[in-house]
Amino acid sequence: MSVEFGIIGQQLVNGLTLGGMYALLALGYTLVYGILLMINFAHAEMFMFGAYVGLFTLQGLSRIEFFTSSGPALLLLYVLTFLIAMVVTGILGVIIERFAYRPLRHAPRLAPLISAIGVSLFLQNAALLWISSRSIPFPVLFEVRTFRIAGANISSMQILIIVTTILLMLVLDTFVSRTRLGRAMRATSQDRDAAGLMGVDINRVIALTFFIGPALGGAAGIFSGMYYGNIKYNMGFIPGIKSFTAAVIGGIGNLRGAMLGGFLLGLLESLAAAYISTGYKDVIAFAILIVVLIFKPGGLLGESVAEKV
Amino acid sequence: MTAIKNGIQSVTGFFSTRPGKIAFYVVLALFTLLMPVYFQSVGNAFMVRIFALVGIYVLLALGLNIVVGYAGLLNLGYIAFYAVGAYAGMNLGFLMQELLMGLGFLGEKPENWSYWALLPFAAVPGAVAGIMIGGPVLRLRGDYLAIVTLGFGEIVRIAITNNIGGITNGASGLPAIGQRVAPVAGQEWARLNLSSGNFIFSKDLYWYYIIVALVLFAVLVITRLDNSRLGRAWVAMREDEVAAASVGVNILTTKLWAFALGAAWGGIAGHTYAYWVGFISPESFNFMESVLVVCMVVLGGMGSIPGTILGAVIITAAPEVIRAMAASPAFSGILTAEQASLVGDYRFLIFGGLMVVMMAIRPQGILPSKRRARELHPVDEKVLAQENQQLWEAEHKHNTDSDIL
């Protein structure tokens, strides 16, 4: 019996780790969709880009001896890596918005979607051609310990990922619900024109959205690199579509929905991989998506968004 | 500048007159029919294959154009129907072969069922797959549909890789060792009777003409569709779903027809590809292929048949032609072999950038359909302001009138 529980517990922890990454990436999709009503197809590439920036930052900074000398310095190194990668990825997001999406703001909805696919193709191939076509190992500079709790092996890496993910989500949730800029974002998402008339600088809010989403996606990319030990130019594709799926399952446009959807999808996928089939692991997400969209088209928490036409 | 403009205008002016149009089509037809013969006769079999490949992608793009261009439904998993057609045709072929052998109709030399006999069995499963995926998800709004079709495309590819039902032979592809695809009827006859000297009427050349015939047939069918009741229903639905529904267009069946007919052409293209090349594996049906076909439709002009064909020709042929040109001595001074292969490597990067630029400056494509062009162009602020002004004036006038009364 305890063996059985061990497998379930193990898959739950794995699922939470995976779900955390999906949730972080899903937040970017849901933020952009909430405000511009477009699927930012290029968001999956933010995951990849963030991982690459994280890798290069880590490699660059770890050359400085101070950062690897002691525990707290190592922590500082990781905090710096995350900050730099998130900011750089965020800036890339803002640049993409400025040049690929802003000219299309009044265009029919198919146009920005196709533009986004173009950006995604461009970034993926830029990484392929200019960095490497092969997967690059992602170094882990601290010792990963494994704890055995209730028959499940939980690594310190998993704990780090889950805790940081939740921390980032709390920060975002507080920012959106408590601050002035967050209120501007919510207003813009409800009615862009009306928010503009009330003195909200729409372009700034949209740019901010395109900063926050990619920054979180970039963080998820670094987690993925640390967790799986390597990164590749096309690493964003599958997590990208799954995270979008997660955002839709939770109710697109709804931040807490994206978090819920991400964790749910991660958990279901891990359990399915253990109990159904690893070969069809990637099919699970799409199957769930289709079922959710048929029975609850607004998503699990997306009641209020469904009314928006 | 004006000289160039005048030059361009006189050229386009000539081609819009009747004799100009006839001249253009004659040249186009001669080029299409005779260029591969020329390439074959100079021993450049590679270019013949490129011509045939372009034809396959034209078929695919024409099929997708029904879904994206006419009905306005973004399908990002279109290549799945291509795969379904290819695998369905091949499997039925092998099945029939075994059946006939079992019944004793075939003696020592097992022959597969021919391409033509199985063509409907590729088109119908394609259409059925289209209805199967379309049925449950067509109620979704545009973007959701795009992501679900993308998911569907991935599901099909993963299922094929995992050898679903034991019929796809997994990642190693079909035909499996020991199985053989039947040659298409007439191929052997053409090789024996139409070859002369150095010129061999090869398998690729023969297939090329079959593909050209299919493309012509597709153009005919799709043009007729466009002008039919169904075609008008598609356009009405694309422009305003609610308005179309309120004048009696059944949205669900209209969308299903678009999906099924588009998918049927995907199936036909898949079957043709499978029998021409004689080998298929899941690698040929990945997401990038779906994106490329969407690119063809968008680049050429959504909803426009000449545009779609042009888009498919450009995207399929451009990198290969540049590569081949660099290899030929005539262009050795302009592009080195390295530069040319670099162009091949960079094509996706270039396509990506091109899609972004295209959407920003010419969202209607190179050769747009007139109606679609108006729809896709971003709202012009000046025009909008002018219209608002007129509306305001009309209202104002009305108000003053009522004051007098």
DSSP state of A252: T
Q: How far apart, in whole angstroms, are the C-alpha atoms of residue A124 and residue A60? A: 23
Q: Are A279 and B162 within 8 A, CB to CB?
A: yes
Report the candidate in B146, B126, B150 with the shortest Cα–Cα distance to residue B138. B146
Does the pLDDT at position A2 exceed 60? no
- Listed in sequence order, the residues at least 6 apart from B57 whose beta carbon sits closer than 8 Å to its beta carbon are B292, B293, B296, B312, B315, B316
Q: Are B383 and B322 within 8 A, CB to CB?
A: no
> Chain B residues with CB inside 8 Å of A299's CB?
none
Which of the listed CATH numbers 1.10.3470, 1.10.8, 1.20.5, 1.25.40 matches domain B45-404?
1.10.3470
Report the candidate in B237, B22, B247 with the shortest Cα–Cα distance to residue B142. B237
Ranges of each domain in chain A: 2-306
At B385, the pLDDT band (50, 70, 90 cuts) reads low
Among A84-98, A187-201, A226-240, B357-371, the range of highest mean pLDDT: A84-98
Structure-model confidence comparison of residues B59 and B138, the more confident one = B59
How high is the pLDDT of residue A309? 36
Q: How remote is the C-alpha of B141 from its chain's centroid?
A: 24
- Give chain A's mean pLDDT: 86
How high is the pLDDT of residue A305? 42
Q: For residue range B106-144, what is the model confidence (pLDDT) as tens digits?
A: 554 445 567 787 788 888 888 888 888 887 777 776 677
Structure-model confidence comparison of residues A63 and B97, the more confident one = A63
DSSP three-state, residue A139: coil
How high is the pLDDT of residue A44? 92
Sign of the torsion formed by the C-alpha atoms of B21, B22, B28 and B29: positive
- Give chain B's mean pLDDT: 79
Q: How far apart, in whole angstroms, are the C-alpha atoms of residue A119 and residue A130? A: 16
SS3 string, B328-370, reads CHHHCCCCCHHHHHHHHHCHHHHHHHHHHHHHHHCCCCCCCCH
Residue B293 in contact with partner chain A when CB distance is under 8 A: no
At B317, the pLDDT band (50, 70, 90 cuts) reads confident
Average pLDDT for residues A251-274, to the nearest whole number? 89
- Listed in sequence order, the residues at least 6 apart from A260 whose beta carbon sits closer than 8 Å to its beta carbon are A250, A300, A301
> Chain A residues with CB inside 8 Å of B363's CB?
104, 107-108, 111
Across the interface, do A100 and B159 touch by the CB < 8 Å criterion?
Answer: no
Q: How far apart, in whole angstroms, are the C-alpha atoms of residue A304 and residue A191? A: 13
Across the interface, do B378 and A104 touch by the CB < 8 Å criterion?
Answer: yes
Structure-model confidence comparison of residues B26 and B103, the more confident one = B26
- Listed in sequence order, the residues at least 6 apart from B182 whose beta carbon sits closer than 8 Å to its beta carbon are B93, B111, B112, B113, B114, B115, B275
Ranges of each domain in chain B: 1-31, 45-404
ipTM of the complex: 0.80
How high is the pLDDT of residue A70? 78
At residue B255's C-alpha, the angle toward residues B252 and B256, to 5°, is: 85
Which residue out of B148, B359, B361 would a mutagenesis test of the A interface target, given it has the greatest number of A Cβ atoms within 10 Å? B359
Considering only the beta carbons, identify the residue of A126, A280, A297 that sits closest to B162. A280
Structure-model confidence comparison of residues B112 and B29, the more confident one = B29
Q: For residue range A67-120, what is the model confidence (pLDDT) as tens digits?
A: 777 778 888 888 999 999 999 999 999 999 998 898 888 777 777 888 888 899
Q: For residue range B187-239, what is the model confidence (pLDDT) as tens digits?
A: 777 777 777 777 777 888 888 999 999 999 999 999 999 889 999 999 898 88
Among A78-92, A102-116, B292-306, B346-360, the range of highest mean pLDDT: A78-92
At A213, the pLDDT band (50, 70, 90 cuts) reads very high
CA distance B335 to chain A (A): 20
Instruction: Please tell me which residue of chain A has the smallest CA distance to B291.
Output: A117
Considering only the beta carbons, identify the residue of A33, A122, A286 that sits closest to B154. A286
Considering only the beta carbons, identify the residue of A37, A99, A125 that sits closest to B349. A125
Which of the listed CATH numbers 1.10.3470, 1.10.3300, 3.90.380, 2.60.40 matches domain A2-306?
1.10.3470
Average pLDDT for residues B30-41, to the nearest whole number? 83
User: Amino acid identity of B147?
Assistant: I
Interstrand relation of A152-155 and A136-137 (parallel, antiparallel or unpaired): unpaired
Q: For residue range A221-262, what is the model confidence (pLDDT) as tens digits?
A: 999 999 999 999 989 888 998 898 899 888 888 888 999 999
Q: Which of residues 133-172 of B touch A (CB under 8 A)?
A: 136-137, 139-140, 142-144, 146-148, 150-152, 154-155, 158-159, 161-162
Q: For residue range B139-188, what is the model confidence (pLDDT) as tens digits?
A: 776 677 887 888 888 888 888 888 877 777 777 777 766 667 777 777 77
Considering only the beta carbons, identify the residue of A108, A117, A282 that sits closest to B154. A282
DSSP letter for each residue of B203-229: HHHHHHHHHHHHHHHHHHHHHHHHTSH
Structure-model confidence comparison of residues A297 and A154, the more confident one = A154
Across the interface, do A122 and B352 touch by the CB < 8 Å criterion?
Answer: yes
Question: How many CB pairs below 8 A link A and B?
Answer: 131
Q: Are B332 and B357 within 8 A, CB to CB?
A: no
How high is the pLDDT of residue B375? 62
Q: How far apart, in whole angstroms, are the C-alpha atoms of residue A303 and residue A258? A: 13
